[in-house]
């Protein structure tokens, strides 16, 4: 019985940790997004280095499709997803944390759609209808009843960045499950962190003046280490344990803990509440996501 409960609890616990992530990253807004990604994953890679060394003989037997999956989740899920999300959070003065996080729940839409494309699964009319409802919900959550003429460019940019992060992580869920079918969850975690750290380091070196430009305060270093040990690398390790033992569609349902807890925290800590139209949008978005994941399960 406990073995059946632990994987869902792992996903829920990882999602609860992710809901705290935005608060921890706020002190890092003045730091280059790619620098944050580089340092975060480099520290995580060092933390999980023993798993990488132990599993090296098994890693060497990984086939081409396995490596494609690993590189995809490392670059798209690790670098691009984290970059887009961190960049979206830098617009916190113009868009609520609740909006940024709730838009991540378009992630199952991208994940299920990509799985259908990759696996050649036929999309039903019900799926298409629910997808349109999810898009409407995402619109209402982002803009409420604001007219197009009143749209703020920074709000649009933040929403676009959050949606790009959702796509990056949604596609990584599909290929992450593919990789977990071939390697243990601890090994996948170590590989992703290591490859992401190398990729982010290359990008940061090319696009900046190198590490000479690093000027982090002691508070920023503290938050960065806390992120690695909680909402970052450790949460990823816990999540991959759950995903290893669950269908990806089930894991997506449990991940809904993330936006719900993030909205609650945003209300408790900052006193920010969504407007009526945004609340309606949130229900449409989350409700359609739940139904979409059931659609996936029932196929």
Give the burial class of 35: count Cβ atoms within 10 A of its Cβ; 0-12 exposed, 13-18 middle, 19 or more buried. Answer: buried
Structural domain span for residue 97: 28-298
Predicted pLDDT at 120: 64
Q: How confident is the model at residue 121 (pLDDT cuts 50, 70, 90)?
A: low
**Number of domains making up the chain:** 1
More confident position, 171 or 26: 171
Read off the pLDDT of residues 72-115 as tens digits, 9 standing for 90 and up: 999 998 888 878 877 887 776 656 666 666 666 677 778 777 77
Nearest of 283, 277, 280 to residue 144 by alpha carbon: 277
Residue 110 sits at the vertex; the CA angle it makes with 38 and 88, to the nearest 5 degrees, is 40
At residue 271, the 3 state secondary structure works out as coil
- Within 8 A by CB and 6+ apart from 185, the residues are 237, 240, 241, 243, 244
On whether the CB atoms of residues 46 and 197 are closer than 8 A, the answer is no
Instruction: Say yes or no to pLDDT of 235 above 50.
Output: yes
Alpha carbon distance 96, 98 (integer Å): 5
Q: What stretches of 116-242 adopt beta strand conformation (E)? A: none
Whether residue 19 lies inside any domain: the answer is: no
Predicted pLDDT at 147: 59
More confident position, 47 or 120: 47
Q: Which token pair is 185?
A: 């969850």
pLDDT, mean of residues 47-61: 92
Whether residue 11 lies inside any domain: the answer is: no
Q: Which token pair is 24?
A: 């921890």
At residue 130, the 3 state secondary structure works out as helix
pLDDT, mean of residues 1-21: 81
What is the number of other CB atoms lying within 10 angstroms of the CB of residue 235?
22
Whether residue 5 lies inside any domain: the answer is: no
Predicted pLDDT at 239: 93
- Cα 270 to the chain's mean position, in Å? 23
Read off the pLDDT of residues 173-215 as tens digits, 9 standing for 90 and up: 888 888 998 899 999 999 999 999 999 888 888 887 666 556 7
Distances (CA, A) of 52 to 157, 191, 195: 38, 7, 11
Q: How confident is the model at residue 259 (pLDDT cuts 50, 70, 90)?
A: low
pLDDT, mean of residues 264-270: 70
Whether residue 230 lies inside any domain: the answer is: yes
Alpha carbon distance 93, 287 (integer Å): 28
Whether residue 16 lies inside any domain: the answer is: no
Read off the pLDDT of residues 143-170 as tens digits, 9 standing for 90 and up: 666 655 565 677 778 778 888 988 898 8
Whether residue 20 lies inside any domain: the answer is: no
Predicted pLDDT at 87: 80
Q: What is the pTM of this model?
A: 0.77
Instruction: Say yes or no to pLDDT of 299 above 50.
Output: no
Helices and strands in the chain: count of H runs, count of E runs: 16, 0
Alpha carbon distance 71, 77 (integer Å): 9
Whether residue 76 lies inside any domain: the answer is: yes
Alpha carbon distance 90, 80 (integer Å): 15
Looking up tokens 């409700």, which residue turns up?
A: 287
pLDDT, mean of residues 135-142: 72
More confident position, 41 or 289: 41
Instruction: Say yes or no to pLDDT of 296 above 60.
Output: no
Predicted pLDDT at 236: 93
At residue 227, the 3 state secondary structure works out as helix
Nearest of 221, 239, 196 to residue 83 by alpha carbon: 196
pLDDT, mean of residues 24-52: 86
Whether residue 212 lies inside any domain: the answer is: yes
Instruction: Say yes or no to pLDDT of 171 above 80.
Output: yes
């Amino acid at each position: 019985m406990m073995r059946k409960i632990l994987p869902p609890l792992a996903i829920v616990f990882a999602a609860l940790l992710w809901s705290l992530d935005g608060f921890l990253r706020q002190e890092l807004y003045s730091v280059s997004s790619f620098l944050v990604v580089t340092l975060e994953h480099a520290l995580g890679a060092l933390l999980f280095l023993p798993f990488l060394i132990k599993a090296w003989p098994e890693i060497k037997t990984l086939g081409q499709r396995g490596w494609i999956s690993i590189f995809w989740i490392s670059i798209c899920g690790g670098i691009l997803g984290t970059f887009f999300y961190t960049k979206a959070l830098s617009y916190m003065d113009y868009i609520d944390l609740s909006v940024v996080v709730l838009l991540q729940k378009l992630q199952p839409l991208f994940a299920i759609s990509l799985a259908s494309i990759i696996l050649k699964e036929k999309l039903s009319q019900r799926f298409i209808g629910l997808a349109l409802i999810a898009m409407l919900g995402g619109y209402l959550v982002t803009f409420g009843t604001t007219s197009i003429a009143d749209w703020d460019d920074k709000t649009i940019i933040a929403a676009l960045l959050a949606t790009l992060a959702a796509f990056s992580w949604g596609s990584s869920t599909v290929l992450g499950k593919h990789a977990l079918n071939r390697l243990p969850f601890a090994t996948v975690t170590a590989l992703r962190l290591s490859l992401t750290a190398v990729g982010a380091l290359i990008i940061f070196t090319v696009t900046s003046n190198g590490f000479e430009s690093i000027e982090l305060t002691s508070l920023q270093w503290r938050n960065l280490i806390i992120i690695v040990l909680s909402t970052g690398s450790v949460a990823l390790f816990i999540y991959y344990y759950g995903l290893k033992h669950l269908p990806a569609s089930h894991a997506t349902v449990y991940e809904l803990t993330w936006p719900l807890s993030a909205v609650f925290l945003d209300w408790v800590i900052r006193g920010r509440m969504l407007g009526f139209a945004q609340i309606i949008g949130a229900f449409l978005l989350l409700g359609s996501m739940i139904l979409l994941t059931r659609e996936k399960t029932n196929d």
